[in-house]
Amino acid sequence: MSSQPYSAADNPSLSRDLQVAKERPALVHSLYELKSSALSLAVDDHNIYCGSQNHDIAVWNKTSFTLKHTLQGHTGSVLALELAQDKRWLFSASGDSTIRVWSTATLLPIYVITPHLETGAGDLFSLAWSSALQTIFVGCQNTSLQWYTFTSGSSASIPMASASTSSLHELNPGSGTLTPGSLTRKAHKFFDSYPIYERRAADLLAQNSAAQMPMTPDGTTPLPGSPVPYAYLQIPFNNVLDSAHYGYIYSMMAIEDERRDDATKLVTGGGDETVKVWRIPEETRVPTLVGEFNCGHGAVYSIVSTRDTIFAGCQDGYVKVLDLETNSSVRSILVEEGVDILSMSIIGTDLYTCSADGQVRRWSASFDCTAAWPAHEGIVLSSAICSSDRWAQLFTGGSDHFIKVWEVPVPRAVDANTNGECLPTPSTCISTLQYALAKFVAFPSISSISSHREDCRQTAIWLKKCLNQLGATSSLLPTGEGRNPMVLATFSGVQNGKIKPRILFYGHYDVISAPKDGWESPPFVLTGRNGYLYGRGVTDDKGPIIAVATAAAELLSRRSLHADLVCLIEGEEESGSAGFDEAVRKHRAQIGTVDAILVSNSTWIGEQEPCITYGLRGVVHCAVEITNSMTDVHSGVEGGRVKEPMLDMIKLLSTLTGEGGRVTIPEFYDSVRPVTDDEKALYELLSSITKQPATSLSARWRDPSLTIHNVEVSGPGNATVIPSTVKSHISIRIVPDQKMDVIVESLQTHLKSAFETLQSPNKLQVTIEHTADWWLGNLEDPYFNALEASVREEWGTEPLRIREGGSIPSVPWLEKEFGCHALHFPMGQSTDHAHLPNERIALTNLARGKSVIQRFLQAISNSP
């Protein structure tokens, strides 16, 4: 890992920068597009077609890169181009509310297609051709999805009066050209209109269309002798799906697979932040919605796919990776935050993204950036790609009026079983784990220091983006004024015909302070050394959080996550979890129902044997304060005359414990659960492994205790001052089956009663500052058994069942709130130095911990 600190907030992307060379790909050629933005591109074996803002379509020879022809007829910007290779046709859609069909063999116009409602459909943003259905689909500004099917003898077609027999013969033979029908269509108010001075209504004989009188680039003088289309076609009303999106339909593509029964699917992306998947039956050709993805990152401007994987380029710099087969989101790629992804192209496993900042980037199958370069001095508006065996040409069009041709490599062949899709392997995900953890650790998210409050908020923002990129839907949950937000993220499993288990994973992104003294490397720079990763929070609790998240991400990428994993990550755990309970109750509906709670927030008992934690002690934090009515005074002046608060405090604290440290609060031990024979056997086993006495383990884990932490005084604290106020902090660790309210009341009663016996004029104040109940797991719970089996399978040995002397306040509370059992799987080793300098975690523990989570999620999904 790098020893140089960096700001993770500046670049929250989880995709590694793996650029081998910083040079841009070879620029093969530049084409200057007639002082007009290149809005759309298409490429076939012979030509490059560019739809421009100036209404024309420039046709360039692909070999000589010379301007071959200009297709004229549109009266609005050419927003989309689509090739029908099987018919040797080119479709163009425009802001003039028409689709035009051109022969790629003769470069002559064939048809003009008018959408239903004509100009009421608005700009036509996107096109998709289905060769299997012989249908062109159109995405409209009025949010409708429309389509036209080409069949012989279509009643919607009619020959133009000026279309000669010779011009018909120029059409590509075998292209499936329509035979003009005998029925007439409705006159078009624009294309069939007369000059305005004639004051005549439009009719079919007017022959005054824009197709017959195309304009010059300056829009003034008609060009004489221009060819006219063979026929005008009208999309019928029953070929319209109104409100297909709740926004403009900016992008679409048809997916056809001859190996499937439902051969044709249509994928559309809209301004409503959604991608929709439509099944097109051959019998009806009417789209039926079969899947919908809420991308959550602005309008979907571009869509490409490789078989069952869809890539959706969004408005604010994200690419959503969607799985068609399981109807789930598997990943997000953060290209450049806030910079629109306007076009994408894909070849093999390489994805090229074109952005509004003029940049083109290449992404590998494991979502790593393998190349990036400034392609245009302006916005990259369009792209297309064509390839040979080893090298391909990427065509990009920009607002700088240029079309540029780049030489790019063709990815090496992948395993045939992946059908052209190279999915992330476990080793790739481990690298993603480390990369994400490095960014996570870089945030000094210290919740106990107010000056780090903004660091904590930025950590939460980054973590939300991180989990979103890994495939979860994520959001921030407020916990109250001046408190750090929680992160809620849900990895949604695919359906397998059964009810999906729903697991709540609880963790915390805040850490304790990390003074530099004692650290061998900077605490907020992830540093690898001798098989360990060092940094504040790597074991408590940032490392386990990323391990769990990447485990779910990898299952998603394999389409193998059949459970819902809900991550609830708070930012106040190290300082008392302020506002946690109220926030969870307030947002309970967003969290949803829960079948089990999973925690990973402690360490093993040793170094080698994996463990499962099944018990935690509870805690009561109490502040005791004794004050007199005077100010601080000099002991040489007032010593012996005043009743000193310090002496009262010493006497009072001495009443809390007796011989051997036994707590003397009345009835303190009455409810403690007796030690069972099974427990004794377990302690003996653990004693033989850890070389610690069994009585020591019992005292740490399952016996209650009382600790006096400090004594604070008012004044300067020097040896001549009698302080007027003395304050002490004590804590009690409670165990099953001690009742929290009974212990709290007994402690307060004992302190007040003992103080009264001192007959002191001073005042006593007892404040309960924080409580957390004890927790004991259910060893017979099926989820516990599944987790234990997963650890056993991963390490090849029986995990040790251990308890912890510390407390995690949220665990027992979450159990009671959601009415289910909690599970605690520690990933760290006993020497990980949590809360100490040189905090660390073993790389192998993170990797195997991730694997355990995957095994567990799969096991509970397969259980009856």
Catalytic residues: 510, 573
Cα end-to-end span (Å), the chain: 44
How open is the CA angle 69-72-73, to the nearest 5 degrees?
Answer: 160
Distances (CA, A) of 843 to 14, 277, 292: 19, 41, 38
Q: Say how far apart CA 277 and CA 760 lie, in whole Å.
A: 79
Q: Say how far apart CA 423 and CA 428 lie, in whole Å.
A: 9
DSSP 217: T
How open is the CA angle 679-594-292, to the nearest 5 degrees?
Answer: 145
> What are 236's two structure tokens?
């019928």
* Cα diameter, the chain: 125
Nearest to 553 by CA among 58, 162, 15, 8: 15
Q: Is residue 751 a contact partner of residue 611, using CB atoms and an 8 Å limit?
A: no
Per DSSP, the residues of 610-621 read: -EEEEEE-EEEE
> What are 820's two structure tokens?
């289910």
Say which residue the tokens 């099917």 belong to.
149
Say which residue the tokens 């383990």 belong to.
697
> What are 206's two structure tokens?
């007017």
User: Which residues face 824 on adjacent strands?
Assistant: 599, 613
Say which residue the tokens 């934690």 belong to.
613
Peptide bond into 737 cis (omega under 30): yes
Assign 3-class secondary structure to 800-862. EEEEECCCCCHHHHHHHHHCCCEEECCCECCCCCCCCCCCEEEHHHHHHHHHHHHHHHHHHHH
> What are 684's two structure tokens?
């003996």
Q: Say how far apart CA 239 and CA 244 lie, in whole Å.
A: 12
Our measurement of the distance from residue 296's CA atom to the centroid of its chain's CA atoms, rounded to an integer in Å, reads: 10
> What are 151's two structure tokens?
């069949």
Q: Say how far apart CA 766 and CA 772 lie, in whole Å.
A: 18
Q: Is residue 49 a contact partner of residue 57, using CB atoms and an 8 Å limit?
A: yes
Q: Say how far apart CA 415 and CA 433 lie, in whole Å.
A: 25
Q: Say how far apart CA 705 and CA 732 lie, in whole Å.
A: 6
The residues, ordered by sequence, that sit 6+ positions from 48 with a Cβ below 8 Å of its Cβ are 31, 41, 42, 59, 60, 61, 62, 384, 395, 403
The residues, ordered by sequence, that sit 6+ positions from 788 with a Cβ below 8 Å of its Cβ are 612, 799
Residue 305: count of CB within 10 angstroms of its CB: 18
Task: Give the strands of the sheet with 341-347, arranged side by side.
Answer: 341-347, 350-355, 359-363, 369-374
Nearest to 436 by CA among 565, 580, 537, 293: 537
Nearest to 654 by CA among 742, 757, 743, 738: 757
> What are 128's two structure tokens?
């998709």
Q: Say how far apart CA 302 and CA 833 lie, in whole Å.
A: 48
